[in-house]
Amino acid sequence: MAYEAIWAADPSKLNKMELIKLEKDGLDVIRSIIETYAPGGYESIPEDELGRFKWAGVYEQKPKDGHFMMRVRINGGRMTSVQAEALASIARDYGRDLVDVTTRQAIQFHWLRVEYLPDIFKRLENVGLYSYEACGDCPRTIVGNPLAGIDKDELFDTTPLVEEVNDFFLLNRDFSNLPRKYKMSISSSIYNTAHAEINDLAFTPAVKEINGQDVLGFHVWVGGGLSAKPYLAKKLDLFARPEDVLKIAAGVSTLFRDHGYREKRHHARLKFLIADWGPETFQEELVKLIGELPDRGTDKVIGWNGAYFDGVHPQKQDGLNYVGLNVPVGRLSAAELSELARLSEEYGDAFIRTTMSQNILLTGIPNEKIDQLLKEQVLERLTPYPKRFTSRTVSCTGNEFCNLAIVETKERARRVAAYLDEQVQLDHDVRIHFVGCPNNCGQKYIADIGLQGALVKTAEGMVDAFDISVGGILGPGAQLVTPLKGRVKGDDVGPVLKHLIEFYKESREIGESFHSFVLRAGTSAFQEKLEEAVRLVAAS
């Protein structure tokens, strides 16, 4: 380590994982994988090394039989057609044809074996992609506006900033041993397309008058995060010029590294330090590190679009368009990704972009090519005009592959969305998020309706079930979901949600969103409707 690990002075105050990290930096596992474990196979991997595999972007896959899942960093959600084709080839050759888009714009593979990893690392590096530090106690994939550079609703193109911050932190051993995972968001979209409030560090668009001139820049947010104890980020009283972003990111990361909690692993995220210190004290310490910055300017975020972009839309470049495609629950095949790479070259600017809603965009498409593009066969399933509930349903990996998940989520979410599309006619979006465990990779806390997997005892034994929450939203007036009481059996989720959504449909005011209706009707009204729905479904 190039810095002094001041937290290591008293090992008795460190959790088990911290002691493991002090023995060997997580990044060292990459070389070990290539030189030792790939030639030796799964049986050659010591147990404590499996925890370090996360720094290579690799997790052991359920049921721990020698298969792994891998995340690949797609910073800001922007990749070239060449990169997309390389990802498709990895899924085709090693991952049983499966590709997942995650809620942090990354690409995730399954069914990998350690013997494959050196070739996968090489293929990724050959096209400028990396899985390194897509997991682990380090700076993760940087999320951003997937429309950066083409967005009519952005203050300026944030692509160079995302790349600058990524390049600084990637494989940087000064920040490869943080107390816990660390997530950053950079966007200048006025619609908060990078979900600022749920990140450890976020930059949102702002304007500040300095020396008589309006300067475009950012406001700075710290301490957001979900998991079992969710926190919305707090806004500091700072204005950041674009050239200040990296300095601030390094300073916040340093404070987290040196003062974040390492005694209890479940209490180690930056959000807990911010909650204890308060944003004012944290800002004072930050300024000591990086110097004074102007105070806040004027917020330019005016709303939140949930990172949804279905359909054909004009770019800020005249005559060009982007097409937002729906990827149901974020899952597609290698062949489909390869086809999208081809389409991006034949019709567009040879870029593909991923969103935090687990969807994909094709960009740079001239007006005269739109009609022909929309006739392509792959867009029949990955359609820009999806059915309402299928288009707004998000799901984590679930217990199909994830060792932490209690229940299956992907297929369940897909079936529930299809059921609702068949049963409910609605002219307004309702965002539904499924998560398989309290870690909340599917981000249920920001959904209109969030469902968290659980188990319930029945006469036939333990069965999958879900706890239901309502009313989440980000942007101005950001609010996390409110939980309802009563567990719903997995097979009853579709009919129960139908009753809740019809309650909204029948009782809302003209133009009223689901979130606004929850605020007006109150949680108690939804609680009553949930209990009524469970009774009706059980009796049917």
HEC string of 495-510 equals: HHHHHHHHHHHHHCCC
> Distance between CA 517 and CA 509 in Å, rounded?
8
Judge whether residue 1 has pLDDT over 70: no
Q: What is the pLDDT of residue 3?
A: 84
> Distance between CA 125 and CA 128 in Å, rounded?
5
Interval 345-352 mean pLDDT: 98
CA 363 and chain centroid, separation: 21
Known catalytic residues are 71, 180-181, 436, 441-442
CA distances from 349 to 155, 337, 362 (A): 22, 16, 8
Angle between helix axes 493-507 and 514-521 (nearest 10 degrees) is: 80
Judge whether residue 2 has pLDDT over 80: no
Q: What is the pLDDT of residue 460?
A: 85
Interval 403-413 mean pLDDT: 96
Interval 99-110 mean pLDDT: 98
Which runs of consecutive H residues, i.e. helices, occur in 388-480? 388-391, 410-423
HEC string of 179-204 equals: CCCECEEECCECCCCCCHHHCCEEEE
CB burial of 388-425 (b: ≥16 within 10 Å; e: otherwise) equals bbbbbbbbbbbbebbeebbbbbbebbbebbbbbbeebe
Q: What is the pLDDT of residue 221?
A: 98
Nearest to 118 by CA among 59, 32, 48: 32
| DSSP at 36 | I
213 DSSP β-pair partners = 210
Tokens for 328, please give them.
């149901």
> Distance between CA 77 and CA 67 in Å, rounded?
26
Q: What is the pLDDT of residue 219?
A: 98
The pLDDT tens digits of the residues spanning 28-74 come to 999 999 999 999 999 999 998 999 999 999 999 999 999 999 999 99
Nearest to 249 by CA among 179, 181, 185, 158: 185
CA distances from 382 to 325, 360, 391 (A): 6, 9, 10
Interval 450-466 mean pLDDT: 94
- Written as one letter, the residue type at 169 is F
